[in-house]
Amino acid sequence: MDPPFQEKYKSLFNDYTMVSNDKDDNLMNSSDGWELPLIDLQRLTLKDPVIREKCVEEIRQAASEWGFFQVVNHGIPQEMLKSLQNEQRKAFHHPFSKKDEDNVLNLSANSYRWGNPRATCLRQLAWSEAFHVPLTDISRICDEHKTLSASIEDFAATANTLAQGMAEILAENLGVSSTFFQENCPEETSYLRMNRYPPCPFSSEVFGLVPHTDSSFLTVVNQDQIGGLQLWKNGRWINVKPNPEALVINIGDLFQALSNDVYKSIKHRVLAPQQVERLSLAFFYCPTYETVIKSCIKPSMYREFTFREFMMQIQRDLKATGDKVGVSRFLL
């Protein structure tokens, strides 16, 4: 069922020479892991305005200082998340040929992805596979996986509500219209990405997912307890300790530009697991392609741009260099 990484990228392995300018860039970092800020969202539902405001301030502080935080009592039942992870595993455990050639889930073309076809060295190779699922594709999923389809639909609806609520809280102090996200981020413009990281015999040499930032406003992540997520903080990579009760939320590039760098889209990566597979599911909260991203804070650090312009620039950079440049392309 695993993609043929070694066969496909044989030349990269043959040419491999360990090169790193980062003194702390040890992929086998064995530290116990850092606890991300943990926020109990139940406090947002309480009548006490002091308690609610304290929760709001914690969300904004975590978004500003970390770019990542964890939430509990988020409105998505644990039973739903466990069921979805089981169905996700079933989908990935089909033979590779069925996933790659037969479109086993009946999704749009090129929805199944693995490795990195643009990789020119091992450090650009992602030892992972994924199903990219636009929310408009959920109804296409074949009857054989109707339980997966139903689980994804339920998760997407609740994750969208969660993401919109977090976005509105984060934008309240930025001068952004209170209806901005409701008007520009209809549910069908967001998408899901189901990820699987197979066991990797070269886990000290390749990533599960290469360092990157997310091209969204916010990303909501459900991960298993294997670990492997790292983020760049204070000039070094730190391990993020999984919390079985929590979802991870991180700031995307669009929110960094919208907030004029009040909130930061932090570079992160995933280590390739050595002996066991790792699963995660990410919901990317995105606007329509015509949505204009501009900060209400003056002077603005970024020129205004549409989401379409942003995504087209990413594709140009990937084609030219193999790497995403991101929001810095739009700095004034």
CA distance 167 to 188: 17
* Residue 284 and residue 271 in contact, taking contact as beta carbons nearer than 8 Å: no
Q: What pTM does this model have?
A: 0.92
pLDDT one digit per residue (tens) for the chain, 332 residues: 999 999 998 888 887 654 444 444 455 444 556 789 999 999 999 989 999 999 999 999 999 999 999 999 998 999 999 999 999 999 999 999 999 987 899 888 889 999 988 888 888 899 999 999 999 999 899 888 989 999 999 999 999 999 999 999 999 999 999 899 999 999 899 999 999 999 999 888 899 999 999 999 999 999 998 889 999 998 889 999 899 899 999 999 999 999 999 999 999 999 999 999 999 999 999 999 999 999 999 999 999 999 999 999 999 998 888 788 899 999 99
What is the enclosing helix (H) or strand (E) of 283?
strand 278-285
Q: Which residue is catalytic, options 113, 123, 196, 278?
A: 278
State yes or no: is 278 an active-site residue.
yes
User: Which residue in 325, 323, 328, 262 sits closest to 123, CA to CA?
Assistant: 323
